[in-house]
Amino acid sequence: MEVIVARTPKEVKEIIRDWKKQGYSIGLVPTMGYLHEGHGSLIERAVKENDKVMVSVFVNPIQFGPNEDLETYPRDFDADLQMIEKLGADMVFHPEPSDMYAPDFSTTISVAGVSENLCGARRPGHFNGVCTVVTKLFNLSEADRAYFGQKDAQQLAVVRRMVRDLNANIEIIGCPIIREDDGLAKSSRNTYLNPDERKAATVLSKALRTGKQMIESGEKNAEVVKSKITEIISKEPLAKIDYVEITDWNSIEPVDIIDRSTLCAIAVYIGNTRLIDNFIYEV
């Protein structure tokens, strides 16, 4: 069956009303498009766990800062549509920014604490933009479940906290990072890398793999693990570290001792491209 393409919130609401009337469970996969196997894994899981699945393809302008890559962010809706249809989703929501944000739009959602470290400290206002658009998608889709990738681990933690705090009637499903054969986490921004940078980018997953092995072998001092990860990345000439942090997985507050579920997250510039990666250590 051909996937439905909805362009406006009004169209989405009409389709959702029909689905709800028939008693279908609904899964939501929010994306900014330029889909890869990581997104594909979210869609596949959503299709498996729900009667109907809506995928959003929307480059959300309010989560980009003034000097970020909003204009150059990769887009290929035709390819996205092919993948979504192949994986069995039922609807694609592909609005224009003007369909999502009225000229006098003035409401944003802010999640304190959990959004303020890591990427939140480097990209002011980013998570306000994420939480606002995600809430709009929750409201439009009336989804039972929404699917997010662990590569954006802080985003996952922030959305979970927002849903808990606001008693939103939706279950948030976190899905594992999907990697290339050489370990690089799948990302739409990987397309920015030239061949030398692409090769250099593997240092992120190598450093994280070493850090995880250290913890699993009994090292519980966060500073020792961070130092080793930093040392490995620093040996790559094309890499410039933005941050290497180990935090509590729920609060995203830094920890000294790794004695609970923790997130080890890194952001590294390879040339001009900022890449993120992480692992979660569960106690």
Q: Just list the catalytic residues.
A: 39
Residue 251 to residue 262: CA distance in whole angstroms: 10
Report DSSP state, residue 184.
P
Nearest residue to 258 (alpha-carbon basis) of 224, 226, 223, 220: 220
Burial 211-233 (b: 16+ CB within 10 A, else e): bbebbeeeeeebeebbebbbebb
Q: At residue 213, what are phi and psi to the nearest 5 degrees? A: -60, -40
Using CB atoms within 10 A of its CB, is residue 24 exposed (0-12), middle (13-18) or buried (19+)? middle
Query: In a 3-state reduction of DSSP, which class is residue 18?
Result: helix
